[in-house]
């Protein structure tokens, strides 16, 4: 089986990144290994604290090693600080392992800005990509949607938005297995709004690309979408700048938390509501699992020459294991090669710039 052949996977783990590191990193690795027995792990961080934790998990006794370092990037460090002093940190060494081919992918729950800056510097961006973007899955009414950028680039020009669209499209095809993902560009739909110039320009480039028949992938550009189209699942890929993407993502996460809270309160509202809960519990357990944010943990820094996965800093071991799962999926599907190939097949950026001139 092909899956067996690809099973020799090594993941570099930033064991010191995140609020509850290294505990949840080690525990998460153990959970991930239950799902993917062929995976290898290298834990970067303080051996004296990692080693005793490793011993707690039976399935982490082989094909696992620790690369000791005392250096840690803290959550308050600026990207520039991390770039200057973070090379020898657990995060820096884990990224270096991917650069040197020691590991296939890196997973970190640490400082996002530092992870992005160091990954960009050490791994480099794919040719044709100006700036990497942060992409993640979100649950929708009819499955999952890929949204990017979630915070790497506060402002984006039209070319960047087009690049994000292409990367998001390949990501949806490889990681979600959608044959022809549809792409939507986030905009404001009220009639008074014309949207921003760069968004309308990106739309006209994407429209041109989706009409091209000679060579390249036929992009399925849906057009503009609005905030409510994200949870609605109107399209498979939502493209936006890092400011709006971050605001939308967190607004959605916050609203989910609000509802989870309110549902809990409703079931505690009265004696009869508690009785109702007993009957409805299996259905709500199912709902809770489906919407569990830990299921969607593991944002990908797209556009880099290697797979870099960012876990939520505050996640638990289950969430961290999901992020490891994303890394494994990317390796199993040869994501980086695939996206590289897709981008090479596309009209060159200079042609995109020409299309822009036409628009």
Site for its own copies in 218-247 (CB under 8 A): 226-232, 240, 242-244, 246-247
- Comparison of 69 and 240: residue with beta carbon closer to its own copies: 240
Which x/- pattern over 62-91 shows residues binding its own copies (rule: CB under 8 A)? -------------xxxxx------------
Chosen residue from 85, 88, 130, 265 binding its own copies by CB under 8 A: 265
- Of residues 104 and 319, the one with the C-beta less far from its own copies: 319
Report the C-alpha gap between 125 and 132 in whole angstroms. 7
Indicate the length of the chain as a whole number.
359
* End-to-end Cα, the chain, rounded Å: 48
Written as six digits, the tokens of 183 are 């792409």
CB of 139 to its own copies, least distance (A): 8
Q: Which residue has the tokens 């039209």?
A: 158
Closest CA to 253 of 208, 333, 312, 194: 312
> Minimal distance in Å, beta carbon 84 to its own copies?
15
Q: Is 154 or 348 the residue whose CB approaches its own copies more closely?
A: 154
Provide, rounded to whole angstroms, the least separation between the CB of residue 116 and its own copies.
Answer: 5
Q: How far apart are CA 308 and CA 313, in angstroms?
A: 15
Residues 6+ apart with CB under 8 A from 114: 73, 77, 78, 79, 81, 82, 83, 86, 91
Q: Does 262 bind its own copies (CB under 8 A)?
A: yes
Using the contact rule CB under 8 A, the part of the chain among 12-20, 22-30, 90-98, 250-258 near its own copies is 250-258
Closer of 198 and 210 to its own copies (Cβ)? 198
Q: Which is nearer to its own copies, 169 or 229 (CB)?
A: 229
Cβ nearer to its own copies, comparing 40 with 196: 196
Binding mask 290-309 for its own copies (x = CB under 8 A): xx------------------
Q: Please give the residues from 112 up to 141 whose contact with its own copies meets the rule CB under 8 A.
A: 112-114, 116-117, 139-141
Alpha helical stretches, state H, the chain: 2-5, 23-35, 47-54, 79-85, 90-99, 112-123, 158-175, 197-211, 229-232, 242-268, 271-291, 317-332, 335-345, 349-358
Q: Which residue has the tokens 């980086």?
A: 336
Contact 130, 158 (CB under 8 A): no
Please say which residue, 265 or 348, places its beta carbon nearer to its own copies.
265
Q: Which residue, 52, 48, 47, 108, is CA-closest to 82?
A: 108
* SS3 category, 250: helix
Integer Cα distance of 319 and 311 in angstroms: 8
CB of 242 vs its own copies, minimal distance in Å: 7
Interface region with its own copies, contact rule CB under 8 A, candidates 24-32, 63-71, 92-100, 191-199: 191-199
Nearer Cβ to its own copies, position 112 or 208? Answer: 112
Residue of 252, 318, 351, 353 interacting with its own copies (CB under 8 A): 252
> How far is residue 145's CA from residue 148's CA, in Å, rounded to a whole number?
10
DSSP one-letter code for 359:
-
Q: Does residue 266 touch its own copies according to CB under 8 A?
A: yes
What is the Cα–Cα distance from 309 to 13, expressed in whole angstroms?
10
Size of the site for its own copies (CB under 8 A): 77
The answer to whether the beta carbons of residues 59 and 33 sit under 8 Å apart is yes
| Binding of residue 249 to its own copies (CB under 8 A) | yes
Told to check if 264 binds its own copies by CB under 8 A, we report: no
Site string for its own copies, 151-190 (x = CB under 8 A): xx-xx------------------------------x-xxx
């Amino acid at each position: 089986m092909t899956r067996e052949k690809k099973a020799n996977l090594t993941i570099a783990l930033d064991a010191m990144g995140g609020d509850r590191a290294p505990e949840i990193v080690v525990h998460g690795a153990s959970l991930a290994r239950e799902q993917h027995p062929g995976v290898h792990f290298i834990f970067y961080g303080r051996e004296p604290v990692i080693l005793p934790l490793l011993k707690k998990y039976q399935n982490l006794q082989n094909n696992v090693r620790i690369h000791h370092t005392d250096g840690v990037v803290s959550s308050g460090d600026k990207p520039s600080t991390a770039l200057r002093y973070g090379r020898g940190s657990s995060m820096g060494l884990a990224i270096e392992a991917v650069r040197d081919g020691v590991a296939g992918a890196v997973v970190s729950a640490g400082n996002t800005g530092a992870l992005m800056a160091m990954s960009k510097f050490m791994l480099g961006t794919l040719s044709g990509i100006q700036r990497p973007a942060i992409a993640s899955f979100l649950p929708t009414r009819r499955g999952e949607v890929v949204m990017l950028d979630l915070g790497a680039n506060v402002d984006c020009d039209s070319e960047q938005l087009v690049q994000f669209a292409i990367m998001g499209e390949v990501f949806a095809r490889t990681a979600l297995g959608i044959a022809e993902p549809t792409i939507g560009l986030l905009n404001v739909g009220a009639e008074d709004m014309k949207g921003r110039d760069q968004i309308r320009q990106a739309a006209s480039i994407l429209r041109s690309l989706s009409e091209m028949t000679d060579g390249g992938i036929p992009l399925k550009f849906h057009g503009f979408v609005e905030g409510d189209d994200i949870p609605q699942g109107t399209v498979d890929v939502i493209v936006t700048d890092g400011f709006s993407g971050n605001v939308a993502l967190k607004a959605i996460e916050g609203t989910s938390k609000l509802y989870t809270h309110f549902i809990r309160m409703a079931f505690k509202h009265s004696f009869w509501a508690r009785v109702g809960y007993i009957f409805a519990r299996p259905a709500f357990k199912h709902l809770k699992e489906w919407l569990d944010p830990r299921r969607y943990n593991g944002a990908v820094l797209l556009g880099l020459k290697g797979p870099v996965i960012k876990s939520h800093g505050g996640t638990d071991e289950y969430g961290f294991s999901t992020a490891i799962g994303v890394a494994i999926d990317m390796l199993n599907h040869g994501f980086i090669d695939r996206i590289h190939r897709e981008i090479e097949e596309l009209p060159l950026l200079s042609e995109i710039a020409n299309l822009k001139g036409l628009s």
